[in-house]
Amino acid sequence: MGVINVTPDSFSDGGRYLDPEAAVAHGLALAADGAAILDVGGESTRPGAGPVPVQEELRRVVPVIEALACAGGDFALSIDTTKMDVARAAMDAGARMVNDVSALRSDPSMAALVAERGAECCLMHMRGEPRTMQDEPRYDDVVSDVKAFLEERLAFAVREGVPERKIWLDPGIGFGKTAEHNLELLRRLDEIVAIGLPVVVGTSRKSFLGKLTGGRAEGERLPGTIATSVLAWERGASVFRVHDVAAVVDALVVTAATVGSPIVGGNMIDEHDPPDPDDEIDGGGFDPEDEDEIADPAVTVEITGLSLFTRHGVTPPERELGQRLLLDVTFELTDCDAMVTDRVEDTVDYADVCEQVALAAQERSYKTLERLCNAIAGRLMERYGADSVRVKATKPEPPIALPVQEVSVEVWREA
């Protein structure tokens, strides 16, 4: 997600793209560098920033969004605003996502607009407001507090009619948090990811990176931005809001290739194009000329009840003493030569599948079963070229006070 600040006072590049032509050129350059989403904002949210009147914010962002929408390209447009009138005008101009740093608190009626338009929505955690958010921020447990906040705002958005699949979550790095708060959120980001929705992380050029590196200025914080983005990706983040798109894209591509889970190109925003009235309607029935459209036969590989001793969990006893997990995996292959050759060497080695599951489950410790299942699924997809994978992890002796026979989590991934 490339940042386009059409503002005179943003902390990093305030004033550079206040002219609409400069902002549009910058946006197209970010897209060429690999940005799948362009996030256009007309009100600074830096610490201490004051509010911007609606008409001024509209004057800044609408011409930029209109021009970028007309330019076309393989990118989606997002409006960074807390105001419903600005969001409505931006979506009229071509935006398909609302990035609300207030998580629909500044203007709760924004939720109904997002639902009505079928737009994506990013809900971010922020303590207070930009003007006051850095005034001695305190938390009982910053990760637990942020997670609880995001879950509450998610529930609100869903109640207002926004489909859960349209919602992204942002822990709000740098928004009402100390440097240590930011680092703790990055360390335990998998706990936010466990909510089950795409997680957006924005560390780009932020002040805590300068503090960690001896006081470097905004323009000298790219190495810190790259490092934190890579760490966030490893912990499950999906979207990275950055100023320096090309460098971060390269870093993530190399990281993904190294660990064997490729970055998928294109934007994540749903397309809902209406049917073209000029398209021919297929009346059904078999047509020999459609033979190529018939799905190839698929092979389903299923292994159940793989028992492993692991060190996953939230509580210290689970992670230090360990516990037994039962793992079930199912995956589909459309390319399996054994269907034709009947040769053992062309089929899937079930022992190898079990070994790969064990390696993924035991090479490191995860707090959540969701993250563990996702890691196993990624390994199986990479090794066997599976089209889809289901992984179920069961705790037969869960550390719960009430009488429970077992608890389990199932994750499904598709190529």
DSSP category for residue 199: B
- CB-based contact 40:61 (threshold 8 Å): yes
Angle (nearest 5°) at CA 276 between 271 and 280? 125
> What backbone torsions phi and psi does residue 200 show, to the nearest 5 degrees?
-100, 135
- CB-based contact 336:282 (threshold 8 Å): no
Residues in the chain: 415
Q: State the CB neighbour count (10 A cutoff) for residue 326.
A: 16
By annotation, the residues acting in catalysis are 206, 241
Q: Could you give the 3-state DSSP secondary structure of residue 404?
A: coil
- CB-based contact 135:206 (threshold 8 Å): no
Q: Provide DSSP, 288-311.
A: GGGGGGSPPP-EEEEEEEEEEEE-
Strands 323-333, 299-310: pairing kind? antiparallel
